[in-house]
């Protein structure tokens, strides 16, 4: 019978392999599109045998679906951690949202190719993984919704807020602003971009006190 330590080692090796496949797939698909990317190319870029791809994923579509789950899961975890840290430090919900904006920018700065793919796939309706994408997208947005509801309950936010739409708008603002930053304004720093979005969040754009 396999020992627990051997099982853990096997699991960590498999996870490392899957991570290499994710990174290879996201880079290739960002460069040349999903249809044009082959399993052979993914295996070559990851430095593994073609059979290793099929050992870990039943097909290229399954690999990409799991890639979406993995990537959005990382984003969701980073947003949740930012909110929890702000709460643990006794800061208000506006500060929690601001911390989540920064966490989102940090994530996108680290995984720009994944973010481009994620945003592109949100607009497509004929993909096999569309239902999965909607589920994981809602998981990320739900973290923001939770903070908004807490703010409404504590009186920090107006009770007239449309929570689902406002949460989606905040997530969308970060995604689009970050992609614009990286594509058209790469000379800007992350702090610079965060400061601009922070002013929007806190209603300080009009110049009114």
Per residue in 123-157, pLDDT (tens digit) is 887 888 888 889 999 999 999 999 999 999 999 99
Number of CB atoms found within 10 A of residue 106's CB: 15
Please tell me the distance from the alpha carbon of residue 22 to that of residue 28, in angstroms, as a whole number: 10
- Is 157 in contact with 93 (CB distance < 8 Å)? yes
Q: Can you give the pLDDT at residue 209? A: 45
Whether the full predicted model's pTM is greater than 0.95, yes or no, is no
Token readout for 51 is 């059979």
Per residue in 171-189, pLDDT (tens digit) is 999 999 999 999 999 999 9
């Amino acid at each position: 019978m396999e020992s627990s330590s051997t099982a853990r080692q096997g699991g960590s090796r498999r996870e490392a392999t899957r991570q290499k496949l994710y990174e290879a797939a996201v880079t290739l698909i960002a460069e040349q599109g999903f249809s044009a990317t082959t399993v052979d190319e993914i295996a070559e870029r990851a430095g593994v045998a073609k059979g290793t791809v099929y050992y870990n994923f039943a097909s290229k579509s399954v690999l990409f679906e799991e890639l979406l789950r993995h990537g959005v899961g990382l984003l969701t975890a980073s947003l949740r951690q930012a909110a929890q840290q702000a709460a643990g430090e006794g800061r208000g919900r506006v500060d929690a949202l601001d911390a989540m904006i920064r966490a989102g920018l940090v994530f996108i700065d680290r995984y720009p190719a994944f973010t481009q793919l994620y945003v592109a796939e949100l607009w497509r309706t004929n993909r096999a993984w569309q239902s999965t994408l909607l589920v994981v997208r809602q998981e990320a947005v739900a973290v923001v919704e939770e903070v908004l509801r807490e703010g409404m309950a504590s009186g920090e936010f107006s009770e007239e807020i449309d929570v689902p739409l406002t949460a989606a708008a905040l997530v969308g603002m970060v995604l689009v602003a970050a992609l614009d930053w990286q594509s058209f304004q790469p000379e800007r720093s992350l702090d610079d971009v965060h400061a601009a979005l922070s002013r929007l969040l806190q209603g300080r754009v009009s110049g009114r006190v």
